[in-house]
């Protein structure tokens, strides 16, 4: 685990309802998430975005939540149970190197990495793993906090994504954040 990984107790703070006043998950994710979709929340913490995602995909959709910290996934499951959404979420404890995800290859319609890429030690390796999971035409929203990540560092993240065969499809303007929406290039592109 990288030294600067968000401590588990921060999961409670990040999932606080007041955060919706500045980051409304439905407004942020609504343009990209369809009912019945299979979506990935990478680094969900305690699920500030996973629960709205589970709501948006509906009973025929699925949210795969990948985290490296068991306590984050426990907190997420507890919150999902209270919200009646637990069955739509697939909770997976991962070691960050993309193993045990073979069953998801080419199946992800939308992926989210919100405030977590800067915690990943091997970002190119991580991006290559996400690329394998994306369905044709799928999109990946990456957002990083301006209070931890400089513009220069985010530019480097975008450059790494380009080298991993992602192209920038949009640059949504989200408060306090550097954000890019990526689309994986196909083999023909």
Binding site for ligand SAM (CB under 6 A): 5-6, 14, 42-45, 48-49, 66-69, 72, 94, 96, 114-116, 119-120, 126
Name which of 61 and 96 has its Cβ closer to ligand SAM.
Answer: 96
Among 164, 171, 90, which Cα is nearest to 134's? 164
Among 180, 159, 179, 156, which Cα is nearest to 169's? 180
Neighbours of 113 (CB within 10 A): 24
Name which of 4 and 60 has its Cβ closer to ligand SAM.
Answer: 4
Query: Minimum distance from CB of 106 to ligand SAM (Å)?
Result: 20
Query: Residues, the chain, total?
Result: 189
Name which of 57 and 187 has its Cβ closer to ligand SAM.
Answer: 57
Query: Minimum distance from CB of 5 to ligand SAM (Å)?
Result: 5
Residues 6+ apart with CB under 8 A from 39: 33, 53, 57, 61, 62, 63, 64, 108, 109, 110, 111, 112
Name which of 43 and 61 has its Cβ closer to ligand SAM.
Answer: 43
Whether the CB-CB separation of 130 and 168 falls below 8 Å is answered with no
Query: Minimum distance from CB of 45 to ligand SAM (Å)?
Result: 3
Query: Minimum distance from CB of 67 to ligand SAM (Å)?
Result: 4
Query: Minimum distance from CB of 186 to ligand SAM (Å)?
Result: 25
Alpha-carbon gap, residue 93 to 82, rounded angstroms: 21
Q: Is 77 helix (H, G, I), strand (E, B) or coil?
A: helix
Name which of 47 and 138 has its Cβ closer to ligand SAM.
Answer: 47
What is the 8-class DSSP label of residue 189? -
**Tokens 């009973």, residue located:** 59
């Amino acid at each position: 685990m990288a030294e600067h990984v968000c401590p588990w107790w921060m999961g409670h703070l990040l999932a606080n309802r007041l955060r919706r006043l500045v980051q409304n998950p439905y407004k942020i994710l609504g343009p990209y998430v369809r009912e019945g979709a299979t979506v990935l929340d990478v680094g969900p913490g305690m699920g500030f975005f996973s629960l709205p995602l589970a709501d948006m995909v509906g009973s025929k959709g699925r949210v795969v939540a990948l985290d490296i910290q068991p306590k984050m996934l426990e907190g997420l499951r507890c919150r999902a149970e209270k919200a009646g959404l637990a069955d739509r979420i697939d909770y997976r404890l991962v070691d960050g190197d993309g193993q045990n995800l073979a069953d998801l290859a080419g199946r992800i319609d939308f992926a989210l990495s919100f405030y977590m890429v800067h915690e990943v030690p091997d970002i190119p390796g991580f991006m290559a793993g996400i690329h394998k999971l994306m369905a044709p035409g799928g999109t990946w929203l990456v957002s990083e906090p301006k209070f931890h990540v400089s513009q220069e560092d985010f530019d480097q993240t975008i450059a790494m994504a380009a080298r991993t065969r992602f192209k920038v499809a949009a640059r949504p303007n989200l408060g306090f954040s550097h954000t890019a929406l990526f689309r994986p290039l196909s083999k023909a592109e």
